[in-house]
Amino acid sequence: MPTARRIGPFEVPAVGLGCMNLSHAYGVAPTPEEAERLLLTAVEEGVTLFDTAALYGFGANEELVGRVLAGHRDRIVLASKCGMTGVDGRRVIDGRPETIRRTADEALARLRTDVIDVYHLHRLDRKVPVEESVGAMAELVAAGKVRALGLSEVSAATLRRAHAVHPIAALQNEYSLWSRNPEEGTLAAARELGVALVAFSPLARGVLTDAPPDLDALPASDIRRGMPRFDARHYPANLARRSELARLAEQAGIGLPRLALAWVLSRGPHVIAIPGTRSVAHLRENLSTLDADVPGEVLDTAGRLLNSATVHGPRYNEATLAEIDTERCGRAG
């Protein structure tokens, strides 16, 4: 498996680090000391792509990443996102050019840098043509504040419209054994256009790890409590599929997380995975996928066991799905 892949002008290992859960979404955040240790260990272990966003912790994640990694800036590829932020304690999608320009300046200050390597539009604002949002982001490139542009959670058609305004270096979409939406268009479109497909939640929001979420232990603030795949109607069936995958991984001698990540990376040489974690041990396990040689028949079997036809429940509730521009696939949402 090629361990180096391209994202715009940058070459990065095929596994990066999604920083969201150090500040946002998954229950109680780790202590600053724990988060700092995780980030610095990632640098030591060779991670170069670090992904954050203005939304995460309503700015706190960018501040964390900026503070901890400022001294390693020349060793990393720093990615962040605009177009979805926290306003008065609420998540707001806003792709207006003036908001994008302001958010970028705020991000530069929080990240303690003069330039963001890859800047994504976090969500398509359905009230603003993507050409206008990307046009404002292109101005940031011209001003030297951003090096390359990306999108997140958009369809192949929107990717093509944006790419016609300014070259798009990266497209972030959820992609894992249980979330196959990119296979409905963006996986192929990204490869055709020379765009990196950056897969977030490649371990199915913790399900495809050695310790899947215990729903009874999740804090009320954990976003998985509002996701249909984790509710009482669907989660037991999804855990049963996970158990089958775990047996397959054990038989192959590789462990479930490595199998799940290897499957994602096998989908194309333009695919990069950005699993998130709060555990140094899990970080190292994820990175060990770069050295894994998983037989094709094992990957094929994994893909048959869990896919858009066998997963139970859509990935988001209907209100959230209505905000997202990606293609839907089967009952997977």
Q: How are the residues of the chain apportioned to helix, strand and coil, as percentages rounded to the nearest 5? A: 45, 15, 35
Instruction: Report the amino acid identity of residue 233.
Output: R
Instruction: Report the amino acid identity of residue 206.
Output: G
User: Helices 256-265 and 296-305: crossing angle, nearest 10°?
Assistant: 100
Say if CB 5 and CB 261 are below 8 A apart: no
Joined together, the tokens standing for residue 113 give 């840098």
Is-catalytic flag, 56?
A: yes
Joined together, the tokens standing for residue 99 give 């908001």
Joined together, the tokens standing for residue 94 give 């806003």
C-alpha distances (whole Å) from 203 to each of 115, 159, 260, 275 are 30, 24, 6, 7
User: In terms of Cα–Cα distance, which of 196, 189, 188 is closest to 158?
Assistant: 189
What are 187's strand-pairing partners? Answer: none
Say if CB 230 and CB 224 are below 8 A apart: yes
Helix (H) or strand (E) holding 244: helix 235-252
The conformational region for residue 217 under phi > 0 = left, psi -120 to 50 = alpha, else beta, is: alpha
Catalytic residue among 56, 175, 235, 316: 56
User: Helices 280-287 and 32-44: crossing angle, nearest 10°?
Assistant: 20
d(C-alpha 47, C-alpha 4), whole Å:
11
Active site residues: 56
